C-alpha cells in the first residue's frame, strides 16, 4: 500500500505543477504585453514566447502521463483498502482498517463499509468525492486530448473548440478532488507517542497498559488550489478582457472576393492599433455565437483600416462566405453585412521582421498572409521615408500548388516592384514564386514565353519557378552574400516545411559568434 500511495502522490505533485503552467501559454493578452515590453523581453526571450502553443501541448502531454500513473496507482490503493476491510482478523492491515470502528478512535482506512471487490471499488469510484471527481476529470481530459489531434482540429474544428472548454470542468473537479481527505496520515502528536517502526510489531496490544497507544490519524488538507488559483485568476482576467473587446463595435467597410475561394474583409474599429504580422480572433454571431477563429492581419499599420484574408475550407468559413453575401451575384448593401466581433491584435514572430537587416520570408499557400502586412508596410515606408529602416534586404519565397492563388497577391508585389525601381533600389526585394503542384513537363507550355519581359502567370518581372526550392542551395547562397550577419528566417506554413527550414537554419549557421547566423521563427496560433 505504501509503495502504491507514493506512486500516486508523486505524480499528483507533478500534476499540481503542470496544471499551474497549462493556462499561462494561452493568456494571449499577457503574452502580447510581455512581448511588446522591451524592458521585460529581449529578442531571444520573445522568440521563446512565440513557442507558447508548443509549450502548452508539452505540458498537456505531461498532465496526461501523470494522470495515467496517478489513476493506476490509486486503483491498486482502492482495491487494497477495500480488501483490508473484509480481511480476516490477525493481520496488521485488518488492525489498521478496523481503527475508527470504536468511539474515540480515528480511522486511517477511508473505506468504512465491509463490502468486497469489485463492488466496493465501484462504490468508492461513484459515491466518494475523490472517486467521482477523479472519474469526471479523467473523462474530461481524455475528451480534450483526443479532440486536439491535428486531424480533428483541421477537419472538425467545432468539435475541438467545444470539447476544449471542458477545461472548466477539469479545473473545478481538480480543485475539489482532495476535499474529501481520503489520504490520511498519523498526526504529529501521535507520532511522538506511537513510533510506527517499533509499534507495528505488537499491533495486537495497542492501547493496553504498557504497550503502544492507539495511533491517531487525520486527513491531509487539499493543496491543489494553492497551485492553480493564481493562473486561474489570470485566465479569468484574460477572458474578461476578451469579452470587453468583443463588445466593441466593428464595421465591415469592404468585402473583396478573390480567386481560389478566398475573401478579404476590410474592417474598422475605434482605437484599433496593430503591428505588422499580428493576428486577431474573429467571431461572426450569424454563423456561430461561441466560436472564435484566428486570422493573420494582412493590412499594414499605416492603413486606416485592418483586413484579413479568409480561405473557404470548412463549415465556419463557408458560413461566413454566405453571411457576407459572397454566394450571390448582385451587389451587397453594407447594412446587410453581418456583425463581426474582433479580439486582438496579438503579437507573433513576424513582428520582429524589422529587427534584422536581412530576412527570409517563406509563405506556403494562404500562409503568405502575414507577409502581405510586412510588404505593405515596407511599401508605405518607402513611399514616405525609409532612411531609418534597419531592414536592408528581403528574400521572399512563396510556394503555391496552382496559379489561382497568386492572383490576389500579385498586385501588391507589382506595386512594390515598381516602387523599388523608381527609387533605384531594385535589389531590396528578391522574390521567388514556386508552383509546387507543377513540374517542368507541365510547365513546358510557358517556357516559350520565358524570354518575355514579364511572367505570363503573375505579370511580374521575376519569372515563376516550378517544383520546390532547393533550400540547401538557397541558404548557402544567402550566407555567402551576407557574411557575419544575423538573418531572420520567418515561416508561415506546414510543419514539414518548418522542420526543413529549422534544420537548414542550424546547419548553415557558423559556430563563430562573428559568423553568419540564421534565426528561425515560425507563426503559431
Give pTM, 2 decimals.
0.78
- Across-strand partners of 431? 396
Q: What are the pLDDT digits (tens) for 241-299?
A: 988 888 889 998 888 887 767 888 999 998 888 888 888 999 998 888 888 888 888 88
**Residues 325 and 253 sit within 8 Å (Cβ to Cβ):** no
pLDDT given for residue 42 in this prediction: 65
- Across-strand partners of 398? 363, 433
261: left (phi > 0), else alpha (psi -120 to 50), else beta?
left
> Rounded distance, CA 431 to CA 463, Å?
10
pLDDT given for residue 21 in this prediction: 95
Q: What are the pLDDT digits (tens) for 302-329?
A: 888 899 988 888 788 888 888 888 877 7
Residues of the chain with CATH 2.40.30.10: 248-346
pLDDT given for residue 129 in this prediction: 92
Name residue, grid cell 549557421.
509
Q: Which parts of 268-366 fold into alpha helices (H)?
A: 315-323
pLDDT given for residue 448 in this prediction: 47
> Rounded distance, CA 87 to CA 81, Å?
10
CATH number given to 349-523: 3.40.50.80
Residues of the chain with CATH 3.40.50.80: 349-523
Backbone φ and ψ for 12, nearest 5 degrees, come out as -65, -40
Short-list 492, 221, 214, 224, CA closest to 353: 492
The Cα-based distances of 251 to 105, 159, 164, 275, 333 in angstroms read 71, 29, 30, 20, 13
- Across-strand partners of 489? 360, 520
Short-list 7, 10, 24, CA closest to 60: 24
Question: b vs e for 269-307, b when ≥16 Cβ sit within 10 Å of the residue's Cβ?
Answer: beebebbbbbbbbbbbeebbeebbbebbbbbbbeeeebb
Tell me yes or no: is domain 248-346 CATH 2.40.30.10: yes
Beginning with the edge strand found earlier in the chain, give each strand of the sheet holding 486-492 in spatial order: 465-466, 429-435, 393-400, 358-364, 486-492, 517-522
Short-list 502, 509, 507, CA closest to 47: 502
pLDDT given for residue 525 in this prediction: 54
Helix or strand run (H / E) with residue 482: none
> Rounded distance, CA 491 to CA 471, Å?
13
pLDDT given for residue 454 in this prediction: 55
Short-list 387, 326, 390, CA closest to 356: 390
> Rounded distance, CA 82 to CA 86, Å?
7
Short-list 180, 188, 186, CA closest to 222: 180
Is omega for the bond preceding 372 within 30 degrees of 0, making it cis?
no
Show the low-confidence residues of the chain (pLDDT under 70): 1-2, 36-43, 209, 260, 330, 332, 385-387, 402-412, 419-420, 423-426, 437-464, 524-525
DSSP letter at 459 equals: -
Helix or strand run (H / E) with residue 171: helix 167-176
pLDDT given for residue 387 in this prediction: 65
Amino acid at each position: 500500500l505504501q509503495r502504491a500511495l507514493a506512486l500516486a502522490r508523486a505524480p499528483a505533485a507533478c500534476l499540481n505543477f503542470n496544471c499551474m503552467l497549462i493556462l499561462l501559454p494561452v493568456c494571449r493578452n499577457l503574452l502580447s504585453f510581455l512581448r511588446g515590453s522591451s524592458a521585460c523581453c529581449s529578442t531571444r526571450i520573445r522568440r521563446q514566447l512565440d513557442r507558447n502553443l508548443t509549450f502548452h501541448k508539452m505540458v498537456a502531454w505531461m498532465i496526461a502521463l501523470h494522470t495515467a500513473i496517478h489513476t493506476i496507482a490509486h486503483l491498486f490503493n482502492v482495491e487494497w483498502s477495500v480488501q483490508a476491510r473484509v480481511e480476516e482478523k490477525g493481520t496488521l492491515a485488518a488492525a489498521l482498517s478496523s481503527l475508527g470502528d470504536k468511539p474515540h478512535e480515528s480511522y486511517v482506512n477511508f473505506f468504512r463499509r465491509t463490502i468486497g471487490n469489485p463492488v466496493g471499488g465501484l462504490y468508492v469510484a461513484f459515491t466518494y468525492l475523490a472517486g467521482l471527481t477523479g472519474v469526471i476529470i479523467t473523462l474530461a481530459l481524455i475528451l480534450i486530448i483526443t479532440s486536439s489531434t491535428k486531424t480533428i482540429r483541421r477537419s472538425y474544428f467545432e468539435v475541438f473548440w467545444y470539447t476544449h472548454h471542458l477545461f472548466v470542468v477539469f479545473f473545478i473537479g481538480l480543485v475539489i478532488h482532495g476535499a474529501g481527505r481520503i489520504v490520511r496520515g498519523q498526526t504529529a502528536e501521535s507520532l511522538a507517542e506511537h513510533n510506527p517502526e517499533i509499534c507495528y510489531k505488537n499491533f495486537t496490544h495497542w492501547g493496553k497498559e504498557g504497550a503502544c497507544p492507539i495511533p491517531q490519524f487525520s486527513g491531509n488538507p487539499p493543496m491543489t488550489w494553492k497551485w492553480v488559483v493564481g493562473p486561474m485568476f489570470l485566465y479569468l482576467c484574460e477572458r474578461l478582457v476578451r469579452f470587453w473587446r468583443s463588445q466593441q463595435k466593428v464595421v465591415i467597410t469592404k468585402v473583396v472576393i478573390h480567386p481560389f475561394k478566398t475573401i478579404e474583409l476590410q474592417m474598422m474599429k475605434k482605437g484599433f492599433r496593430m503591428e505588422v504580422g499580428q493576428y486577431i480572433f474573429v467571431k461572426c454571431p450569424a454563423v456561430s455565437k461561441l466560436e472564435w477563429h484566428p486570422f493573420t492581419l494582412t493590412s499594414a499599420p499605416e492603413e486606416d483600416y485592418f483586413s484579413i484574408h479568409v480561405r473557404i475550407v470548412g463549415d465556419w468559413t463557408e458560413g461566413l462566405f454566405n453571411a457576407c453575401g459572397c454566394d450571390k451575384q448582385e451587389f451587397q448593401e453594407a447594412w446587410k453585412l453581418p456583425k463581426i466581433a474582433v479580439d486582438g491584435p496579438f503579437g507573433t514572430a513576424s513582428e520582429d521582421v524589422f529587427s534584422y537587416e536581412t530576412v527570409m520570408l517563406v509563405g506556403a499557400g494562404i500562409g503568405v498572409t502575414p507577409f502581405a502586412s510586412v510588404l505593405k508596410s515596407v511599401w508605405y515606408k518607402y513611399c514616405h521615408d525609409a532612411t531609418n529602416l534597419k531592414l536592408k534586404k528581403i528574400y521572399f519565397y512563396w510556394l503555391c500548388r496552382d496559379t489561382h492563388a497568386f492572383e490576389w497577391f500579385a498586385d501588391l508585389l507589382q506595386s512594390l516592384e515598381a516602387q523599388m525601381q523608381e527609387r533605384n533600389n531594385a535589389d531590396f526585394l528578391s522574390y521567388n514564386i514556386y508552383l509546387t503542384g507543377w513540374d517542368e513537363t507541365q510547365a513546358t507550355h510557358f517556357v516559350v514565353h520565358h524570354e518575355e519581359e514579364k511572367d505570363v502567370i503573375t505579370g511580374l518581372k521575376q519569372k515563376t519557378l516550378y517544383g520546390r526550392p532547393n533550400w540547401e542551395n538557397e541558404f548557402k547562397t544567402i550566407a555567402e552574400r551576407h557574411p557575419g550577419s544575423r538573418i531572420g528566417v520567418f515561416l508561415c506554413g506546414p510543419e514539414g516545411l518548418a522542420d526543413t527550414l529549422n534544420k537548414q537554419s542550424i546547419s548553415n549557421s557558423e559556430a563563430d559568434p562573428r559568423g553568419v547566423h540564421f534565426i528561425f521563427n515560425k507563426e503559431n496560433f
